Amino acid sequence: MLLSLALLTGACGKKAGDEIAEPVDEGGPRYKLGVVTFIGNSAFSEKELRSKMTSESGKRFDDYTFQQDMRKIIFLYRKKGYLDAKFLSKNSQVNTEKQEIDYQLTIEEGNIRKIGQLRFSGNQVLSDSLLISLLKVKTGDPLNLPAINQTSTGIVALYAERGHIYTTVKDTVLETEDPYTSDILFNITEGPLVRLGQIRIEGNKKVRDRVIERELTLKPGEIFMPSKVYYNQQRVYALGLFTEAKFEMDGMVEKRDTVDLRMVVKEDRTNWVGFNFGFETPDRVQGGLEWGSDNIFGNLQKLTLKSEASYGLQKNDQSGMHAYTNNYYLDYLEPYFLSTSYKASGSVYYKRERQESSFWQQLSRIGGETKVGKNLVKFLQAYIGYKYEFLEETQNTTSDVFLTASFDSRDDMFNPQNGVSSSFRVDNAGSVLGGSNDYRKSSGDFSMFQGIGRGVVMAWRVRAAGIYTYDRNGPVPIQERLKLGGGMNLRGYKTDEITTDSSSSINMLVNGNFEIRIPIYWMFGAAVFVDAGNVWSGFGDVKWSQYQGGTGLGLRFITPVGPIRVDYAVKTDETVDFKEGLFYINLGHAF
């Protein structure tokens, strides 16, 4: 379609050029373009005509560019049905004092020509009435030759989607008794109905054939539909295992009525290494390292090893200790559990920490969880799982079954411009499941991203969580207590600064974030944000008027794996002290 339009554009441009004198250097590079006025124009205003010109008043004059601008104007007229439009004269006047050239262009628009009847010949598969209902051009429209050509291309596409991929269409403008009305004849050669033959896979070495075959919805013997072939190509490419995935078609050159497909792929590296880093004033540093494989056994299984740590460089004045966390994870994903559409995953971890929110106790946890689920509809997936955890210091165990669901329609998971991301999880520990802890925990997270023009994105998030222990075995376990504060949820506060008293059998958390992300230059951007939230020790204690707030500004350097983020935030108490704010440096958005 684009090629046809380009050829037609060139043809129209040449015809217009025949009516315009060859470029003549009337002033040389030392002159600027002055005022350009038009005479004889009524179909378009001077503003509309000037908008099609590349040449600008006050800029250096170039006669060749000016001639091209005149051709663009003639092409504009012909798109609207003024096929006889032309320039009658081009008068110039040199202003030596201003070093400018003024132009007066006289246009003869002619009469507008319109489309009369739309006629078809050679069509058997699609009726005249169906074609007319599907076409964009209609009787009475201006005679727009590029639009007619696009219509012919559109008819070819309609036939191709019905298996007639060799269809050709030739359009002809027919004169009528009315000199300003022309009929259009579309002469259609339909060609045979084409079906799919063999489907083969080539180029894969580490990735098994069945991994690719699972993504293919095409079947030998079905009608050849270009859109479906393209859809299958995109499904294979979306696996993330290939640098290239395309169909080669055997038999199209010979115009056979059976076309064989060869899916040709080039494998990408499936092993990767990642890292993250961060810093929070006054002295907290953090970092992480991970290794993963996206095709560990040749069947799209994924394996990830990850470690992360944070450390307070200064000792706490009261405890005399350094705060730290040190966590290790091993994650595995089986995308086709027992050769079904269900996904299964498993994770084991070891977590060790000592910080103010745990009253400077050392907590060492070893545990794991497994879950099974599937995609329910587009963007939505749900899982059921089981978690077991052992707390070394107290010999405390947790046996927990959970349900979780997530919805993600973001256009980019690292730097979204539009879309929604949400998740919900319910845990039930203890009772018939055994273990030392009895509790029920619910949590939900909802984020929305909306582009508002010029690359500016408005982003906001709301999340809430609650846990209670049925009053059967005392307060909420220390490792399960809800906490708030830090660069990922409530900026202006130190990590996990906000929590409840240790004797509470109920924890409630509410957190909201609002951020406007603004591009500045190249890969740099800025952000303005407001965060708020709190943690309460009972259902009846939840009062939004008691929120803790933070606000600030941030800088962003956008990378393919998310922005490098520098934020400065202060608490929004009754009195705001900008000198007592905190800096946060992280890889990735806060949400």
Indicate the pLDDT class of residue 16, thresholds 50, 70 and 90.
very low
Could you tell me if residue 25 is left (phi over 0), alpha (psi between -120 and 50 degrees) or otherwise beta? beta
In sequence order, what are the residues at sequence separation of 6 or more whose Cβ sits closer than 8 angstroms to the Cβ of residue 544? 510
Q: Decide which of 570 and 320 is more confident.
A: 570
Give the DSSP H or E segment for 10. Answer: helix 2-18
Q: What is the mean pLDDT of residues 216-233?
A: 97
Q: What is the mean pLDDT of residues 539-546?
A: 83
Instruction: Report pLDDT for 11.
Output: 36
Instruction: Report pLDDT for 209.
Output: 94
Instruction: Report pLDDT for 20.
Output: 41
For 176-219, list the strands marked E by DSSP. 181-189, 195-202
The C-alpha atoms of residue 424 and residue 422 are separated, in whole angstroms, by 7
Asked whether residue 27 carries a pLDDT value surpassing 60, the answer given is: no
Span of 91-100, 196-205, 550-559 with lowest mean pLDDT: 91-100
What fold, for 114-189? Ubiquitin-like (UB roll) (3.10.20)
Superfamily of domain 195-267: membrane protein fhac (3.10.20.310)
The angle, 0 to 180 degrees and rounded to 10, between the axes of the packed helices 2-18 and 145-160 is: 160
What fold, for 271-587? Porin (2.40.160)
Closest CA to 466 of 479, 480, 478: 480
Closest CA to 90 of 42, 30, 19, 31: 19
Asked whether residue 537 carries a pLDDT value surpassing 80, the answer given is: yes
Closest CA to 151 of 123, 124, 171: 171
3-state secondary structure of 418: coil
Residues in the chain, total: 591
Span of 2-16, 116-130, 456-470, 485-499 with lowest mean pLDDT: 2-16
pLDDT tens-place string over residues 265-296: 999 999 999 999 999 998 999 999 999 999 99
The C-alpha atoms of residue 562 and residue 369 are separated, in whole angstroms, by 28
3-state secondary structure of 441: strand
Asked whether residue 25 carries a pLDDT value surpassing 80, the answer given is: no
Instruction: Report pLDDT for 546.
Output: 87
The C-alpha atoms of residue 226 and residue 234 are separated, in whole angstroms, by 12
3-state secondary structure of 358: helix
Closest CA to 120 of 154, 147, 144, 155: 155
Whether the domain at 195-267 and the domain at 271-587 fall into the same CATH topology: no
Q: Which residue has the tokens 């130190």?
A: 494
3-state secondary structure of 567: strand
- Residue 65 identity: T
Asked whether residue 377 carries a pLDDT value surpassing 50, the answer given is: yes
The angle, 0 to 180 degrees and rounded to 10, between the axes of the packed helices 145-160 and 63-79 is: 60
Q: What is the mean pLDDT of residues 420-449?
A: 96
The C-alpha atoms of residue 351 and residue 327 are separated, in whole angstroms, by 4
Let me know if 51 is exposed, middle or buried by CB neighbors in 10 A (0-12, 13-18, 19+): exposed
Looking from the CA of 237 toward its CB, the CA atoms found within 13 Å total 12
Instruction: Report pLDDT for 545.
Output: 83
Q: What is the mean pLDDT of residues 63-82?
A: 94
Q: CA dist 332 to 344, 349, 369, 392, Å?
A: 8, 12, 11, 25
Percent of the chain at pLDDT > 90 equals: 84
Instruction: Report pLDDT for 334.
Output: 96
Asked whether residue 113 carries a pLDDT value surpassing 60, the answer given is: yes
The 10 Å CB-count burial string (b at 16+, else e) for 25-37 is eebeeebbbbebe
Instruction: Report pLDDT for 578.
Output: 81
Asked whether residue 17 carries a pLDDT value surpassing 70, the answer given is: no
pLDDT tens-place string over residues 321-340: 999 999 999 999 999 999 89
Q: Is 3.30.300.90 the CATH classification of the domain at 2-108?
A: no
The angle, 0 to 180 degrees and rounded to 10, between the axes of the packed helices 63-79 and 2-18 is: 110
Let me know if 355 is exposed, middle or buried by CB neighbors in 10 A (0-12, 13-18, 19+): buried
Asked whether residue 530 carries a pLDDT value surpassing 50, the answer given is: yes
- Bridge partner list, 532: 512, 549
Instruction: Report pLDDT for 6.
Output: 33
Instruction: Report pLDDT for 8.
Output: 32
Instruction: Report pLDDT for 471.
Output: 66
The C-alpha atoms of residue 54 and residue 187 are separated, in whole angstroms, by 38
Tell me the two tokens of residue 152. Answer: 């012919």
Asked whether residue 87 carries a pLDDT value surpassing 80, the answer given is: yes
Percent of the chain at pLDDT > 70 equals: 95
Instruction: Report pLDDT for 271.
Output: 94
Asked whether residue 14 carries a pLDDT value surpassing 50, the answer given is: no
Tell me the two tokens of residue 171. Answer: 């359009």
Q: Where are the domains of the chain?
A: 2-108, 114-189, 195-267, 271-587
Secondary structure, 3-state, 216-236: CCCCCCCECCHHHHHHHHHHH
Instruction: Report pLDDT for 245.
Output: 97
